[in-house]
Amino acid sequence: MIKTRKPPMKQTVGAQYVCFGSNEDEEFTGEYEESVEKTEVVKTVKMTENAETSDTYASGKVYDSDTPTKSIDIEVEVVAFPEDTVARMKGDTVDAGGLILSGGGSKRPFFAYGKVVKLRNGGYRFEWYPKCKLTEKSDDISTSEEKASDQTDTIKIKAYPFDEAGNIVARVESGSAPEGLTEDKFFAKPILTKEGLAAAIA
């Protein structure tokens, strides 16, 4: 039997979410701060999976092949980004008086990164990348001209496996999402397990 399907097309990127680990000085624990930061500043998001193929040979030929995903590179173009958030991502020292000291040998903390993909016909895809680190931030600016132009920044993030199974992203899609799930509920805190999703709905 042949079943013809018509998957929904992507319409636009929605909001993005950032939540820092509860202890930035230690390794990843899966524990996060209470506050989640939401910004609606995204122009484009590019995801690149980094995978490495490993072949097993037997009797002179390939017996099996495994291609696990080692990490995912997330490149986000934004119209603006909170400077204090970027400073925390970079591990900068923020003085009580507002002075930010950057460029030293500080350790960059883990944080969770979330994004929304809006599909046509009202569909959606919610995604959490629970274990991320900032790898690069560009800050280009040009002179203003008679014709308005966007002055955008680019944030590059690397997402790592967050559990023993090697999972990197936790997501739901509108076609199979549990009843009662909303964007606010899903992004109220980073979700790493099915129990976490059930708690978010409850």
Per residue in 150-202, pLDDT (tens digit) is 667 888 999 999 998 889 999 999 888 888 899 999 999 999 999 999 999 88
Q: Which helix (H) or strand (E) holds 115?
A: strand 111-119
Quote the CA–CA distance of 75 and 22 in Å, as a whole number.
24
Residues 130 and 20 sit within 8 Å (Cβ to Cβ): no
pTM for the full predicted model = 0.81
Q: Are strands 111-119 and 124-138 parallel, antiparallel or unpaired?
A: antiparallel
Residues 135 and 157 sit within 8 Å (Cβ to Cβ): yes
**In Å, what is the CA distance from 122 to each residue of 11, 148, 152, 188?**
9, 32, 28, 21
